[in-house]
Structure 1
Amino acid sequence: MKKATSIIDRIVYAINVLVAVLLIITGILSYMPFQIVSALSVLSLVVPFLFALNILFLVYWGIKLKRQLVLSLVAIVLGYLMFGPFYGLGNNDVPQKESSDLKIMSYNVWGFNKNGWMKEPGVGDSIVQFIKKQDPDILCIQEHARTRHRQLKQYPYRSETPYVKKRTIQAIFSKYPIVNNGSLDLPGTINNIIYADIVFHKDTIRVYNLHLQSFKIRPSADNFSDGEKSERTYKRLVHTFSKQLEQAEIFREHFENSPYTNIACGDFNNTQFSNIYKIVKGDLQDTFLEKGKGFGRTYDFWKIPLRIDYILADSEFEVLSHQNFDDRLSDHYPIMATLRFSSHE
């Protein structure tokens, strides 16, 4: 009996070593501004599972009072130090708005359901009503539908993806004057990044609206269980990571030359465990990590609460609140943050 138990423990420990090493390697790779091994970049999508498995191994060895628990304990601690928290302990309280405060929303609206992906009637109009109810000062929309601006009259200023090229349409709506705008023409893709320079009281701030390369994978067991489909899915994941990395570097180069205080919003199509996120974020504040609550889900993939939409702000802003909404009107969920511009205090 002891021999059988020993063999089982060896097998468990071998799996434990693999899972712990994968978590640590993924953490190291998230700091690399390039892809060392393309295949390993995909691991950033499963970091929560790697954490969960290491916790299970920690509990397993703890119950058995075995020193093997040290491996997973070290992996969890190192993982936390490399990735940071991914569960928010904030609350949903939104402070009373002052004149120096700025409410900004980011929302991938899926074309306001113009292609009928959601079968409920009037989804596009419901999205408009939701936006009007929340009433952000600045609204960053990904996968916009140009005609919808007619229903958003509370915003006298807007900037959209230019007509000249076939792109998914991004839009920035503002209650404050837009004095300059532009588009980063990402190569070899329909995705896009736009920006707008907005006069906020006596200052000018620059708002970026990002929509990075999409995976174009619908949640389906066949995509990962069927051999041929699984291989195609894997190749698509690797290609997407490569394009996102290129796009993140284009953004970062443009961002470094911005003369203004900056906010970056949008659908990054990747998690906070990736080097793509870290390149875009740089020294910016992630409003969810500052004031968010729970897992911060912005997208459902096989019922997994992924956070792939972000609001990032320069340190000149104080993050007062961050909200994740549960309104299911798109394949993404909207997010909103309240920021206070320190120069106005």
Structure 2
Amino acid sequence: MKKAASLIEKVAFAINILVAFFLLITCLSSYLNFQIIPIFSALSLFVPFLFILNFLFMIYWVFKRKRKLFLSLLALVIGYLGFGPFYKMGDETKKAQSNDLTIMSYNVWGFNKNEWIKEPNIGNKIISFIKKEDPDIVCIQEHSRIRYKQLSQYPYRSETPQLSPRTIQAIFSKYPIIGNGSLELPNTVNNIIYADILLGKDTVRVYNLHLQSFSIVPKAETLSNGEESEKNYKRLVSTFAKQLEQAKFFAEHIEKSPYTNIVCGDFNNTQFSNVYKIVKGDMQDTFLEKGDGFGRTYNLLGFPLRIDYIFAEPKVEIVSHKNFDEKLSDHYPVMATLRLKSHQ
């Protein structure tokens, strides 16, 4: 019996070492602007699972009264310090002022034009939702040009150029747009657009990002064993490499922006990735500042992931952040209330 118990502990510790290593190497990889080994980029999708597994191993060794618990404890501490929280208890929101700016980011999945959601009038329900929340600025990914007439409360808009062979993005604004542009990311249908928006005496540049898509539906069948699984793994690796290239492209562009910057969009990647860190730079993540819960904007195999974001420069005060539970797309919308320091 003692030999069997000893063997079980050795096997458990071997697995523990592997799980702790994966968490630590994924944490390290998130700070690099290149891929060490492609699979480490893919692991960024599963960081919450790695945290849970390390926590369970730590509890197991505590129960066994073994010093082996310190391996997972160390991995958890380093992971938390490196990644930050993926669950927020909710910070107290400040009282909104009339001159605060509300901004929403929403991947609307083409307003369900392909009827992926088998319910009637999904597109109109999305429009009704936006009208109800009534943000000052709306950044839409996977837009449909014909819908702009339904958003008549926004007199200003900027969209992906008509002749650009890309998924359509749009920025709708209640404030004048005095300049706009498209980054025209190379070799992809995804893209980044921006609009320079006049807020009284201030001008802010709002970026709307839609980074490289996976082009697979993350279900158990698509990740099952066999040839299909191998194809999907290669597609994941290729997608992460492309996202990294796009993040660097964006970082070079925003560095030259003459205005206060706000960044919205669907990154198709988690906060545990180097893609997230490169795009974020020294900006504030509105969820980390004022969010609550997991901040879920997408479900992966039923697990909540945060892949849609709103960032703002440090000179912008984050008043509030809200995640919505509207199942009208494969993504869930997010909205933040911001206050420019000049408006305080």
Q: Shared topology, TM-score over 0.5?
A: yes
Q: Deviations over 1:135-158 (max 9, x none)?
A: 000000000000111010100000
The answer to which of 136-145 and 217-226 deviates more is 217-226
The answer to which of 59-68 and 215-224 deviates more is 215-224
Q: Is the 8 A contact 2:96 2:319 kept in 1?
A: no
Cα offset, 1:222, TM superposition: 2.4
**Structure-2 residue corresponding to 1:73:** 73
Cα offset, 1:95, TM superposition: 5.0
The residue type equivalent to 1:298 in the other structure is T
The residue type equivalent to 2:251 in the other structure is R
Instruction: State yes or no: 1:183 paired with 2:189.
Output: no
**Structure-2 residue corresponding to 1:293:** 292
Cα offset, 1:23, TM superposition: 0.5
- Following superposition of structure 1 onto structure 2, how do residues 309-328 of structure 1 map, counting pairs within 5 Å? 309-328=308-327
The answer to which of 36-45 and 243-252 deviates more is 36-45
Instruction: State yes or no: 1:173 paired with 2:172.
Output: yes
Cα offset, 1:119, TM superposition: 1.1
Instruction: State yes or no: 1:82 paired with 2:85.
Output: no
Q: Whole-Å Cα distance in 1 between the matches of residues 336 and 241 of structure 2?
A: 30
Cα offset, 1:96, TM superposition: 4.7
**Structure-2 residue corresponding to 1:222:** 221
Q: Which consecutive unaligned segments of at least 5 residues does structure 2 have?
A: none
Cα offset, 1:220, TM superposition: 2.5
Q: Is the 8 A contact 1:89 1:291 kept in 2?
A: no
1:89 is paired with a residue of what secondary structure?
coil
Cα offset, 1:301, TM superposition: 1.5
Cα offset, 1:221, TM superposition: 2.1
2:222 is paired with a residue of what secondary structure?
helix
1:120 is paired with a residue of what secondary structure?
coil
1:88 is paired with a residue of what secondary structure?
coil
1:321 is paired with a residue of what secondary structure?
strand
Q: Is the 8 A contact 2:284 2:314 kept in 1?
A: yes
Q: Is the 8 A contact 1:316 1:343 kept in 2?
A: no
1:42 is paired with a residue of what secondary structure?
helix
Aligned length: 344
**Structure-2 residue corresponding to 1:164:** 163
**Structure-2 residue corresponding to 1:26:** 26
**Structure-1 residue corresponding to 2:254:** 255
**Structure-2 residue corresponding to 1:53:** 53
Cα offset, 1:226, TM superposition: 3.0
**Structure-1 residue corresponding to 2:271:** 272
Q: Whole-Å Cα distance in 2 between the matches of residues 225 and 119 of structure 1?
A: 25
Cα offset, 1:98, TM superposition: 1.7
Q: Whole-Å Cα distance in 1 between the matches of residues 135 and 24 of structure 2?
A: 40
Q: Deviations over 1:133-181 (max 9, x none)?
A: 0000000000000011101010000000001121000000000000000
The residue type equivalent to 1:261 in the other structure is T
**Structure-1 residue corresponding to 2:234:** 235
TM-score (norm 1): 0.98
**Structure-1 residue corresponding to 2:303:** 304
Q: Is the 8 A contact 2:95 2:319 kept in 1?
A: no
- Following superposition of structure 1 onto structure 2, how do residues 81-120 of structure 1 map, counting pairs within 5 Å? 81-90=81-90, 95-120=94-119
**Structure-2 residue corresponding to 1:35:** 35
TM-score (norm 2): 0.98
Q: Deviations over 1:15-69 (max 9, x none)?
A: 0001001100000000001112122211111111110000000000001111000
The residue type equivalent to 2:69 in the other structure is L
**Structure-2 residue corresponding to 1:13:** 13
Residues 155, 96 of structure 1: CA spacing in aligned structure 2 closer, same or farther, 3 A cutoff? farther
1:259 is paired with a residue of what secondary structure?
coil
Instruction: State yes or no: 1:342 paired with 2:341.
Output: yes
1:98 is paired with a residue of what secondary structure?
coil
1:82 is paired with a residue of what secondary structure?
helix
4+ residue segments displaced more than 4 Å: 93-96
Q: Whole-Å Cα distance in 2 between the matches of residues 81 and 94 of structure 1?
A: 24
Q: Is the 8 A contact 2:158 2:172 kept in 1?
A: yes
Cα offset, 1:94, TM superposition: 6.1
Q: Deviations over 1:88-116 (max 9, x none)?
A: 1116x765532331000000000111111
The residue type equivalent to 2:97 in the other structure is E
